[in-house]
Chain A
Amino acid sequence: MRNFKRMLMAGVAFAGLAGAPGPVQAEVKTYSPVTEQRLQNPEPRNWLMYRGTYDGQGYSPLDKINTSNVADLVPVWTLSTGVMEGHQSPPIVNDGVMFVTTPQAQVIAVDAKTGEQLWRYKRQLPEDLTQLHPTNRGVALLGDRVYVATVDDFLVALDAKTGKEIWAKEVEDYRKGHYMTLAPLVAHGKIMVGGSGGEYGIRGFVAAYDANTGEQAWRTYTIPKPGEPGSDTWTGDTWKTGGGSIWITGTYDPEQGTAYWGTGNAAPWMGNARPGDNLHTTSVLALDVDTGAIKAAHQYHHNDSWDWDEVDPPMLVDIQKDGRTIKGMVHPGRNGYLWTLERGEEGISFVSGVPFVRQNVFTSIDKKTGRPTYDEARKPGLNKLVDFCPSLWGGKDWPPAAYSPRTKMIYIPANENLCGSLSGKMMDYVPGQLYLGAGLEDIGLTLFPNADHVGELQAWDLSTNKKMWSHPFAKSQLWGPVLATGGDLVFMGGTNDRDFRAFDAKSGKVLWKQKTNSGVTGVPVSYEVDGVQYIAVQSGWGVDAQRMQDSLAKVSVDYRNEVPQGGVVWVFAVRKR
């Protein structure tokens, strides 16, 4: 009946266009199957996964667009997605075929050279779905299939050539507050996803599914149940609703067969509602991709009380330090510290932790373990209102940093000078309802006195932990994922002025910018088709970039900038002379 009604409505729409051609659902004519070998060593012309490569560096070796010609970058095609809210996914490109996702877990396949739409997958979502974070962060590719994790908590396999659904597996029940926004991770014939819903008091997990059949292979919870190692870091039944959600794609070391996942904050928000360190929240987990076994773990900060998710997984980078090469794991934390860890035979060891923004909570870091000591006066609690820096959105939220092996610098999209206040209250847990345990009247956001900026793109040398340059944004917060390229360029949007820019990777000088339709919170990528290099990104403001905008506008007139919503895919190339 409903389908019939839809057909009728579609018919009316066509009639209204008076003979205009209907939507063409073309097929992908030639498609290069994605092998695991290709995923481990992607061709420079392609962008096959969330951060381009398994190490999470967000680096494209392509260099035809470089510091000498980037000023001539022009749009070559655009595509409206027709969807509102946060467009955060990277355009993922496999030999001329681009896949972008939008909020509501729609997937659009596009000819990466011409911009012609090839197919579109629209998921029919339940009528009573709540979307606290309406976004999606992209697809994963394997073989002739495209995998997407949905906001109603299904893992869906699509035919890459036609967009037809092959299977859809329920990961968890959306009615209990489970949802997914991350791009899946592919390794050893498995599709791995993690669950969002820490705000609803879920118990976080990573789950792996057979790429062919969709059968679950394993599921590893981020929080141990009683009797499992680490369960003594929880009190009573608090582990059952303890959060530790996973909402950003893990990184992967193929040599070890180990995937590294960052975990979210503990739930509810106030630490003294769940005494203990609360393993493995606000941590990195090293998982065996075949079995899901936890090989190693490191907690960035214990008993979180600031809503500082540490879901952004560590970037895997070789670092020259003190005369030796460290197999590094680098994480610019929401807690405002730039963490360097080392992955070795004996698991994960601490190397260094230095603040990259104003941080007044940690009084010291243990030199051996990296465990911070807190200024207890800066730790919110039940019925205890406290000011702290950085704010609950942290020194850097989910937008990924990038690393250039040429400059040996990491580029961090930071928010400086923002502080906040929080207080908590006891709450009953009701499945599917928010379980923040925070007094709404007591979530504050403040600017540090005499602050001259908030958003700040920072370049750090990882060998020395020195800030090499930074670019402040005087009138905007920063929610811009970063791309570094072999042309010694860094691309980033993320500001409320709707600009998308190219920086000189060595000096930080802005070499080019483009005003877009909306704010750019999408992950930028680079690819090449028929010898032409392109830069692609989605512009579509929403979710927490919008929330912070609304909060900042109340704090300072300088940040009152209306950012219109609506997603557009932008593709740029150098103008031919």
Chain B
Amino acid sequence: MAESVMQLQDVHTRRDALALGLALGCCGSGAQAQTSPPARNLRPTAGDCLVRAVGVSESAEALRPDDVVSAGPQLLAWAKEPASGVVRDGSRLNQILLLRLDPETLDAETLARAANGVLAYSATCTHAQCPVTEWRQEAGILHCPCHGSEFDPRGGGRVVGGPALRRLPPLPLGLSAEGSLEVAQPFLGKVGGQVA
């Protein structure tokens, strides 16, 4: 097990760790801004807004609940740091899927994480890290095209089919003062697959 965890290391993260070491060595603790990995690589962070993952640019507009089609399919998104405008697309593990579902169909915990019926989950399948891009409309189930893992978005992202063993980590959402979608808390649970 430890071995597979070690293999999950990100080349970027390693490079960043190296850079961090150098930064500390040269500048001491004063260089706070330089000690964190580039914002692109960081997982979605509380206060981030959300932008479309396809055709992304730094001027991309923050998504609002109405931008997400009601009753599916999912919309793939990245988090964006509002102050710097940096889109967090440095790791594919940062990708988010958004769904807008009838709040009355959600379980209590899921409802609490939704913003105006919009739900967010990690878009990365917990089996083999494919993007979960398929939506089974009638069943209301998220489907991974690589190996057929299935997740219930109304029930906290729990596994309902296929080889995955862990739920899709939820990403609690809120609304900004301007009414756009906003990350309320980091992903709940480990993002990514069983082995890399």
Indicate if the CB atoms of B133 and A433 lie closer than 8 Å: yes
Indicate if the CB atoms of B146 and A434 lie closer than 8 Å: yes
A440 / chain B contacts, CB cutoff of 8 Å: 134, 143, 145, 148
Indicate if the CB atoms of B196 and A126 lie closer than 8 Å: yes
A436 / chain B contacts, CB cutoff of 8 Å: 145
A82 / chain B contacts, CB cutoff of 8 Å: 3
Indicate if the CB atoms of B128 and A134 lie closer than 8 Å: yes
| Residue in contact with A126 in the complex, picked from B6, B11, B54, CB distance below 8 Å | B11
Chain B residues at the A interface, C-beta cutoff of 8 Å: 2-3, 6-14, 17, 20-21, 54, 91-93, 124, 128-131, 133-134, 136, 143, 145-148, 192, 195-196
Indicate if the CB atoms of B133 and A434 lie closer than 8 Å: yes
B143 / chain A contacts, CB cutoff of 8 Å: 440
Indicate if the CB atoms of B91 and A127 lie closer than 8 Å: yes
Name the residue on B nearest A436 (C-beta): B145
| Residue in contact with A104 in the complex, picked from B13, B17, B20, B196, CB distance below 8 Å | B196
B11 / chain A contacts, CB cutoff of 8 Å: 124, 126
Indicate if the CB atoms of A547 and B147 lie closer than 8 Å: yes
Q: Supply 16 A–B pairs (Cβ within 8 Å), ascending by A.
A: A1-B20, A2-B9, A13-B2, A124-B7, A126-B10, A127-B196, A128-B92, A128-B129, A129-B129, A130-B92, A130-B130, A131-B129, A132-B128, A132-B130, A434-B131, A441-B136
**A428 interfacial by beta-carbon distance below 8 Å:** yes
**A324 to B7 Cα, complex, angstroms:** 56
Indicate if the CB atoms of A128 and B130 lie closer than 8 Å: no
A293 / chain B contacts, CB cutoff of 8 Å: none
**A2 to B92 Cα, complex, angstroms:** 21
| Residue in contact with B14 in the complex, picked from A2, A13, A129, CB distance below 8 Å | A2
Residue of B2, B8, B92, B133 contacting most chain A CB atoms (<10 Å) = B92
A253-282 at interface with B (beta carbon < 8 Å): none
Mask of A112-152 contacts with B, CB within 8 angstroms, 1/0: 00000000001011111111101000000000000000000
**A365 interfacial by beta-carbon distance below 8 Å:** no
Indicate if the CB atoms of A132 and B146 lie closer than 8 Å: yes
Indicate if the CB atoms of B93 and A128 lie closer than 8 Å: yes
A104 / chain B contacts, CB cutoff of 8 Å: 7, 195-196
Number of interface residues of A (CB under 8 A): 31
Least Cβ–Cβ distance between B73 and chain A, in angstroms: 12
B192 / chain A contacts, CB cutoff of 8 Å: 127-128
Contacts A428-B54, A430-B54 given; does A130 touch B93 at CB 8 Å: no
Residue of B7, B17, B148, B192 contacting most chain A CB atoms (<10 Å) = B7
Indicate if the CB atoms of B196 and A432 lie closer than 8 Å: no
Name the residue on A nearest B20 (C-beta): A1
A6 / chain B contacts, CB cutoff of 8 Å: 6
Least Cβ–Cβ distance between A445 and chain B, in angstroms: 13
**A104 to B7 Cα, complex, angstroms:** 9
Indicate if the CB atoms of A1 and B21 lie closer than 8 Å: yes
| Residue in contact with A125 in the complex, picked from B7, B20, B136, CB distance below 8 Å | B7
B12 / chain A contacts, CB cutoff of 8 Å: 126-127
**A84 interfacial by beta-carbon distance below 8 Å:** yes
| Residue in contact with A128 in the complex, picked from B6, B54, B91, B136, CB distance below 8 Å | B91
Chain A residues at the B interface, C-beta cutoff of 8 Å: 1-2, 6, 9, 13, 82, 84-85, 104, 122, 124-132, 134, 175, 428, 430, 432-434, 436, 440-441, 547, 550
**A104 to B9 Cα, complex, angstroms:** 13
Name the residue on A nearest B130 (C-beta): A130
**A6 to B3 Cα, complex, angstroms:** 10
Indicate if the CB atoms of A128 and B128 lie closer than 8 Å: no
B8 / chain A contacts, CB cutoff of 8 Å: 125, 127
Name the residue on B nearest A431 (C-beta): B54
Additional A-B contacts beyond A124-B7, A125-B7 (10; CB < 8 A): A2-B17, A124-B6, A125-B8, A126-B11, A126-B12, A128-B10, A128-B91, A128-B93, A428-B54, A430-B54
Name the residue on A nearest B146 (C-beta): A132
**A431 to B148 Cα, complex, angstroms:** 20
A125 / chain B contacts, CB cutoff of 8 Å: 7-9, 196
Indicate if the CB atoms of A131 and B20 lie closer than 8 Å: no
Name the residue on A nearest B53 (C-beta): A430
Least Cβ–Cβ distance between B195 and chain A, in angstroms: 7
| Residue in contact with A127 in the complex, picked from B2, B9, B128, CB distance below 8 Å | B9
**A420 to B131 Cα, complex, angstroms:** 26
B145 / chain A contacts, CB cutoff of 8 Å: 434, 436, 440
**A204 to B147 Cα, complex, angstroms:** 23
**A430 to B133 Cα, complex, angstroms:** 11
B129 / chain A contacts, CB cutoff of 8 Å: 128-131
**A13 to B2 Cα, complex, angstroms:** 10
A9 / chain B contacts, CB cutoff of 8 Å: 2, 6
Indicate if the CB atoms of B146 and A130 lie closer than 8 Å: yes
**A125 to B14 Cα, complex, angstroms:** 11
Least Cβ–Cβ distance between A497 and chain B, in angstroms: 22
B134 / chain A contacts, CB cutoff of 8 Å: 440
Q: Which 8 A-B pairs have the closest CB atoms?
A: A127-B10, A128-B92, A128-B93, A130-B129, A128-B91, A1-B17, A434-B145, A125-B196
A85 / chain B contacts, CB cutoff of 8 Å: 195
Least Cβ–Cβ distance between A335 and chain B, in angstroms: 24
**A84 to B196 Cα, complex, angstroms:** 11
Least Cβ–Cβ distance between B22 and chain A, in angstroms: 12
Name the residue on B nearest A6 (C-beta): B6
**A155 to B93 Cα, complex, angstroms:** 24
**A433 to B129 Cα, complex, angstroms:** 11
B9 / chain A contacts, CB cutoff of 8 Å: 2, 124-125, 127
A441 / chain B contacts, CB cutoff of 8 Å: 136
Contacts A6-B6, A428-B54, A436-B145 given; does A131 touch B128 at CB 8 Å: yes
B14 / chain A contacts, CB cutoff of 8 Å: 2, 124
Name the residue on A nearest B54 (C-beta): A430
**A122 to B6 Cα, complex, angstroms:** 11
Contacts A2-B17, A125-B7, A433-B133 given; does A130 touch B128 at CB 8 Å: yes
**A127 to B54 Cα, complex, angstroms:** 21
A122 / chain B contacts, CB cutoff of 8 Å: 7
Indicate if the CB atoms of A127 and B130 lie closer than 8 Å: no
**A128 to B10 Cα, complex, angstroms:** 7
B124 / chain A contacts, CB cutoff of 8 Å: 128
Least Cβ–Cβ distance between B61 and chain A, in angstroms: 19
Indicate if the CB atoms of A127 and B146 lie closer than 8 Å: no
Residue of A122, A428, A430 contacting most chain B CB atoms (<10 Å) = A430
Least Cβ–Cβ distance between B187 and chain A, in angstroms: 14
